[in-house]
Amino acid sequence: MRNPLHGVAIVGAYNTRQARHVGVPETELLLDAMRGALRSAGLGFADIDGVHCTSSARSWRSRETAMWLGGRPVWTGSADVGIPALLEAALAIASGQATSVLIATAQAGEYARREETAPWTKPGHEFTECFGLFTAAEFALVARRHMHVYGTRREDLAEVAATIRSHGARNPEAVMFGHPVSRDDVLASRPIAEPFHLLDCALTNEGGAGLVLTSAERARDLPARPIWLLGAALDRCGMSYVTPPVWDRYGDVGARAGRLAFAQCGLSPAEVDVAELYDPFSFEVIRQLEAFGFCARGEGGAFVRDGRIAVGGALPVATNGGLLSFSHAGLAQLLQKPIAAVQQLRGELPRALTVPDARIAIATNGGAGALFCDALLLGTEPA
């Protein structure tokens, strides 16, 4: 049986302005994400028969935002923001429930209590919150174990952060545009949750993002360059931030999803030109390089040295600046990984960050500290 994902393309991909404070209400930001994604696809609201548009602080849900289309019947999505939402929409299209689906999300104004860490970094739970755990500490517990078992060095973590932040420094749309960071800067920044220091950690900011998916048939009629779904899968090991992130049990999360995604299109990690890996913390990139088979287990620290993951290196990672430098707006960054992959494959990123002749990209969500990791393979040609 033909993989139904192979009959679906992404035709629109758009990020709103990303900033510490964008200066507009969240609903306006969501509308910008929706309109921008449609514009990128060369489509209008009238062409859409499926929506999955949500927001964080105001809590817009997709059945509410579907009303903005005037009440005509449409498909609505309900999966988690990010790769799951994209897959849900793709399967709706592949099974004939919709032809063109608009996915968008935005967050502004959610982070008001600055004496605390951002709301999306500290989900409350009976067996974690009381010990002062939050996302940085959870991922730090994974990183520390990897350093203990494999001898991974803090300098390797800093290399990842400096490389990705150097991408963002060259991206005018990144929150940290114009702020290059060296490995020594990362090492010298203040500690947050050891081994992580400030510059090993994702930003906290506001922003929105949107995507449009459509059928292969419709994609061929549009002026926009379609980017094709080649394979995808989700690895979820239960709830995030509830049970301890034990390396021996969860260190490989994403490996199964990656194997399944590659098997769906007969590709291998060696054929990937760009890796938009989820980078909430520097170490997570090292872990994902291992989990997705770009290097052997325990060799991620050595892999990132010598500019290998920089634009211009063998496997450019987080080429738009990632969560570390481009944006981490709560949930929008989950969509921004596929968007970065689409923009690379379409040649839409700034020239200094463009990977020449990129044909195959991987985008990922999640990480071992959160006990989930999703993989999506995209290409310039259909599978």
Q: What gap in Å lies between CA 383 and CA 379, rounded to an integer?
A: 8
Q: To the nearest whole angstrom, how small is the minimum distance from the Cβ of residue 151 to other proteins?
A: 12
- Among 71, 96, 132, 223, contact with other proteins (rule: CB under 8 A): 132
- Residue in this structure with the two tokens 């059945």, named with its chain if needed: 63
- Among 70, 96, 124, 223, contact with other proteins (rule: CB under 8 A): 124
Q: Among 38-46, 52-60, 120-128, 154-162, which window interacts with other proteins (CB under 8 A)?
A: 120-128
Q: What gap in Å lies between CA 142 and CA 155, rounded to an integer?
A: 16
Q: Is 115 in the site for other proteins (CB under 8 A)?
A: yes
Q: Is 17 in the site for other proteins (CB under 8 A)?
A: no
- Residue in this structure with the two tokens 């054929």, named with its chain if needed: 271
Query: What single letter denotes the amino acid at residue 83?
Result: I
- Residue in this structure with the two tokens 């860490």, named with its chain if needed: 117
The mark string for 167-206 relative to other proteins (x by CB under 8 A, - otherwise) is: -----------------------xxxxxxx----------
| HSE-CB of 282 using CA atoms within 13 angstroms | 31
**39 vs 297 by CB, closer to other proteins:** 297
**99 vs 189 by CB, closer to other proteins:** 189
Q: Please answer whether residues 75 and 23 qualify as being in contact, where contact means their C-beta atoms are separated by less than 8 angstroms.
A: no
The mark string for 233-252 relative to other proteins (x by CB under 8 A, - otherwise) is: ---------xxxxxx-----
Binding-site residue total for other proteins (CB under 8 A)?
Answer: 36
CA distances from residue 3 to 8, 261, 363 in whole angstroms, order as listed: 10, 11, 19
Sequential DSSP letters for 197-235 = EGGGB----BEEEEEEEEEHHHHTTSSSPPEEEEEEEEE
The mark string for 251-290 relative to other proteins (x by CB under 8 A, - otherwise) is: ----------------------------------------
Q: To the nearest whole angstrom, how small is the minimum distance from the Cβ of residue 190 to other proteins?
A: 7
**250 vs 294 by CB, closer to other proteins:** 250
Sequential DSSP letters for 237-283 = -S-TTTS---HHHHTTTTHHHHHHHHHHHT--GGG-SEEE---SBHH
**81 vs 192 by CB, closer to other proteins:** 192
- Among 127, 184, 217, 268, contact with other proteins (rule: CB under 8 A): 127
Q: What gap in Å lies between CA 349 and CA 302, rounded to an integer?
A: 28
Q: Is 63 in the site for other proteins (CB under 8 A)?
A: no
**122 vs 328 by CB, closer to other proteins:** 122
Q: What gap in Å lies between CA 87 and CA 90, rounded to an integer?
A: 5
Q: To the nearest whole angstrom, how small is the minimum distance from the Cβ of residue 327 to other proteins?
A: 20
- Among 131, 221, 270, 351, contact with other proteins (rule: CB under 8 A): 131
- How is residue 242 written in tokens? 């509830």
Taken as a whole, the chain contains a residue count of 383
- Among 14, 134, 250, 303, contact with other proteins (rule: CB under 8 A): 134
**126 vs 221 by CB, closer to other proteins:** 126
Q: Phi and psi dihedrals of 132, rounded to 5? A: 80, 25
CA dihedral 25, 27, 29, 32 (to 10 degrees): -140
- Among 35, 39, 61, 144, contact with other proteins (rule: CB under 8 A): 144
**69 vs 141 by CB, closer to other proteins:** 141
Q: Is 301 in the site for other proteins (CB under 8 A)?
A: no
User: Residue 75: helix, strand or coil by DSSP?
Assistant: strand
Q: What is the radius of gyration, based on Cα positions, of the chain?
A: 19
**99 vs 117 by CB, closer to other proteins:** 117
- Helices assigned H by DSSP within 42-122: 62-65, 83-94
Q: To the nearest whole angstrom, how small is the minimum distance from the Cβ of residue 353 to other proteins?
A: 30
- Among 6, 52, 58, 122, contact with other proteins (rule: CB under 8 A): 122
Q: To the nearest whole angstrom, how small is the minimum distance from the Cβ of residue 251 to other proteins?
A: 11
Q: Is 148 in the site for other proteins (CB under 8 A)?
A: yes
User: Residue 32: helix, strand or coil by DSSP?
Assistant: helix
Query: What single letter denotes the amino acid at residue 193?
Result: A
> Where along the sequence are the contacts to other proteins (CB under 8 A)?
115-117, 121-122, 124, 126-134, 136-137, 140-142, 144-145, 148, 190-196, 242-247
